[in-house]
Amino acid sequence: MDPDSVAKAFVEHYYTTFDANRANLGNLYQEGSMLTFEGQKIQGSQNIVAKLNSLPFQQCKHTISTVDCQPSGPAGGMLVFVSGNLQLAGEQHALKFSQVYLRSP
């Protein structure tokens, strides 16, 4: 599978899971994983999921606009940049979002 296909499959799985049940994202993170969110650094699978679950909205729908990826390092890492819209339940206008993922081999 080429890197673009891997990145697109990951992004689709991640945001579908996020929109349906954020608690199920834990297996996509490792204990060394870090989420930086509005200047706050959160490390570890359980802490990251706790942060995602604490966001001030329950229902949302991500619509992906772009998925760009490139190899990172000689051992098979990958850098993925995602942008799109986030529609919150009860809100008329969608929010813009962007997110970067770094996959270490």
Q: What is the pTM of this model?
A: 0.91
Residue 94 CB-density burial (10 A; 0-12 exposed, 13-18 middle, 19+ buried): middle
Q: What total number of domains does the chain contain?
A: 1
Contact 66, 84 (CB under 8 A): yes
Please report, for the domain that includes residue 95, its CATH number. Answer: 3.10.450.50
Task: Record the tokens describing residue 86, joined without a space.
Answer: 């986030």
pLDDT at residue number 75:
79
Domain hosting residue 85, numbered range: 3-103
Distance CA 58, CA 22 (A): 9
pLDDT at residue number 83:
98
Q: Which H or E run contains 52? A: helix 45-53
**Residues of the chain where predicted confidence (pLDDT) is lower than 70:** 1
